[in-house]
Amino acid sequence: MPLPDDADDKWIYKPHTAAKHEVLQKYLHPWTNKLTSYNKSAHQPNKVRVVDCFAGRGNYTKAEGTDPLNLEFVDSPTEYPGSPQLILDRLTDRSNQYDTAECVFIEANKNNYQTLDETIQQTTGYDSQISVDCKHGKFQNKVLNVVESTDGSDCPTFFFIDPFGFKSLDYDVITEIGSTPQFEFLITFMSRDMNRFLESEDHENALNGVFGHNHWRDEIETYDPTNWEPLVEYYTEQLEENGPKETFEYKITEPETTQTVYYLVFGTNHPNGLKTMREVMSYCGTGKFAYAPKQPEYDREQARLFGGGTKDFLLDRFGEYIITFDKLVETCTEERRYADATESDYRDALRELEEEGKVDIQRITSENTGIQGSDLIDFHDSDKFGG
Ligand SMILES: C[S@@+](CC[C@H](N)C(=O)[O-])C[C@H]1O[C@@H](n2cnc3c(N)ncnc32)[C@H](O)[C@@H]1O
């Protein structure tokens, strides 16, 4: 018998919980920076919203093998706070950037909801411009009210979708969120559970609901249960058909084995959103877009040592172009999605190429020796403009 969602044993703070929270915590910073700048440039009210769709209790019973997350501003009556407090804390840290912020915390289980509501009522230290709304009910039923009442045009909204299993990952709801221009999401995709139930007829309906149709079995035939990447890739392809334009995956394994527990799946409609999350994920976990302590290929230092190739790629890909730095990074992010290099690696590579006399850089955004924004990179064989 599976444990009920309010069983204390389900509320132990583990290394994979911390790995998931690290990504959420680190992304909320640049997300707030960028989207509040966007609000200002679009002359719209400077408001942001975060919806924690599976908010949980806001209160773990204990931690095993890791420390609880660190809150800088928020005081909560628990030693082991959850994602709601983390969101309040990170938004408070950026409170000088927006006029108002809205947090919506949705929780379906009655006991978990009660604990959440009490815990959040006793939580202090978050900024007074932040409003908090704890909702009791299923995310599938509650979240569309938020989506439909705003149609995405009132403010940028980030959805954290973090179920225990996969049954509630309703394809229609998720693609509706994902297709809305100013919305982004981060989903915990429980590949371990899915793998366990892939052949089970009892779970057929739930799996149809996740993939949005009933012919997935034929399409994932080549899927190999020892390598779960194809499964998450199939899922993200299905999402991109009706949902967000861009997705990106981050792998989380058990700390002591190579077993994948889940993938975090990020969805956005904006290339800049993809670039920002990719950068954040590149410095979270153990490296190479993963928390996988027992897998050397996901070790940051090793990947750097053997990854290389950035300068060669740039020469090969852009040899005939004059291109702005921003467009170059955007193109690289698209085309080398899971390669290691980040914006600063591309900058370093270009600096070296400039020293070697292989590119000229016309500084437009940068004043002196920097490389950024609209600075024009001229690869010497260039006869085209663009990328
Ligand atoms: C993994 S826990 C959430 C943990 C929390 N996000 C955190 O990081 O601290 C998943 C929660 O979703 C709740 N839940 C289950 N089905 C749900 C649904 N359909 N809608 C909203 N919440 C649901 C469970 O009761 C449980 O508290």
Q: pLDDT digit string (tens) for 49-89? A: 999 999 999 999 999 999 988 899 999 999 999 999 999 99
Quote the strand ranges of 97-156, DSSP E. Answer: 100-107, 130-136
Per-residue pLDDT reduced to its tens digit, 197-221: 888 888 999 999 999 999 998 888 7
Q: State the Cα–Cα distance between residues 243 and 290, nearest whole angstrom.
A: 24
Inter-residue contact 201 to 177 (CB < 8 Å): no
pLDDT at position 250, please? Answer: 97
Whole-number Å distance, alpha carbon 162 to ligand 1 midpoint, is 6
The helix-helix angle for 325-335 and 271-282 (nearest 10°) equals 70
What is the domain class of 8-301 according to CATH? Answer: alpha beta
Structure confidence at residue 152 (pLDDT): 67
* Nearest CA, atom 3, ligand 1: 56
Distance CA 191, CA 22 (A): 19
Query: Does residue 351 line the site of ligand 1, with CB under 6 A?
Result: no
Distance 52 CA to ligand 1 centre (A): 9
Residue 287 CB–ligand 1 contact under 6 Å: no
Categorize the per-residue pLDDT at 111 as very low, low, confident or very high, splitting at 50, 70 and 90.
very high
Interaxial angle between packed helices 139-150 and 171-178, expressed in degrees from 0 to 180 and rounded to the nearest 10: 30
pTM of the shown model: 0.90
Q: CA-CA distance, 332 to 70, in Å (whole number)?
A: 34
56 vs 84: CA distance, rounded Å = 8
- Report the range out of 24-38, 152-166, 368-382 with the highest average pLDDT: 24-38
Q: 138 CB less than 6 Å from ligand 1?
A: yes
The dihedral sign for the CA sequence 205, 224, 215, 238: positive
The identity of residue 43, as a single letter, is H
The response to whether residue 59 sits with its C-beta less than 6 Å from ligand 1 reads: no
Q: Which stretch of DSSP H or E encloses residue 117?
A: helix 110-121
Backbone Cα Rg of the chain: 22
- pLDDT of 276 higher than 50: yes
Q: Whose CA is nearest to atom 18 of ligand 1?
A: 138
Looking at the chain, the whole-number percentage of residues with pLDDT higher than 70 is: 96
CA distance 246 to 228: 20
Using pLDDT thresholds of 50, 70 and 90, give the confidence band for residue 151.
low
Give the start-to-end residue ranges of the domains of the chain: 8-301, 308-385
Question: What confidence category does residue 387 fall into, taking pLDDT thresholds of 50, 70 and 90?
Answer: very low
CB count, 10 Å around CB of 96? 8
pLDDT above 90 covers a percentage of the chain that reads 74
* Burial (CB count <10 Å: 0-12, 13-18, 19+), residue 190: buried
Q: What is residue 340's predicted lDDT score, i.e. its pLDDT?
A: 75
Q: Could you tell me the pLDDT band of residue 164, with boundaries at 50, 70 and 90?
A: very high
Q: Which of 107, 169, 172, 185 best tests ligand 1's pocket when mutated (most atoms within 8 Å of CB)?
A: 107
Point out the ligand 1 atom lying closest to the alpha carbon of residue 81: 9
Angle at Cα 65 formed by Cα 59 and Cα 66, nearest 5°?
Answer: 60
What residue type is assigned to position 187 of the chain?
Answer: I
CATH of domain 308-385: 1.10.10
Phi, psi of 256 (to 5 degrees): -105, -5
Q: Which residue reads 């007829």 in tokens?
A: 201
Question: CA–CA separation, 318 vs 368, rounded Å?
Answer: 24
* Arithmetic mean of pLDDT over the chain: 91
Ligand 1 centroid to residue 165 C-alpha, Å = 9
8-301 and 308-385 in the same fold: no
Give the tens place of pLDDT for each residue, 15-31: 999 999 999 999 999 99
Nearest atom in ligand 1 to 21's CA: 8
